[in-house]
Amino acid sequence: GQNIDQPTEMTATEGAIVQINCTYQTSGFNGLFWYQQHAGEAPTFLSYNVLDGLEEKGRFSSFLSRSKGYSYLLLKELQMKDSASYLCAVAMNTGFQKLVFGTGTRLLVSP
């Protein structure tokens, strides 16, 4: 079976740094995605990692360790608008975007 684990909920303060972890056990692997989803809105793409290491993009960074089945999303200089759900998803080896999602981490940023 496919298993993606991430914390259900996290809280942080404006201006702080938060790390959202994701562990996975899947029958295939063709990269790991992070999406952001505000309540009632479309999930929007944040990052994609297929090789081990850190990818940095502005205030957001994502890390992958394939040997450990582990990824994290790092958000720096938190802003109130970062309050959202963060979805971790593994792409299967299908040649197309068949993604297996975790249940998402709800992040609440407080003043």
Partner 1 sequence: NAGVMQNPRHLVRRRGQEARLRCSPMKGHSHVYWYRQLPEEGLKFMVYLQKENIIDESGMPKERFSAEFPKEGPSILRIQQVVRGDSAAYFCASSPSPSEKLFFGSGTQLSVL
> Which is closer to partner 1, CB of 78 or CB of 91?
91
Residue 95 engages partner 1 in binding (rule: CB under 8 A): yes
DSSP, res 17:
-
51-90 residues near partner 1, rule: CB under 8 A: 87, 89
> Which is closer to partner 1, CB of 29 or CB of 101?
101
Residue labelled with tokens 């992958």: 64
> Which is closer to partner 1, CB of 17 or CB of 50?
50
The answer to whether residues 97 and 90 touch, using CB atoms and an 8 Å cutoff, is no
Applying CB under 8 A, which residues contact partner 1? Answer: 4, 33, 35, 40-45, 48, 87, 89, 94-104
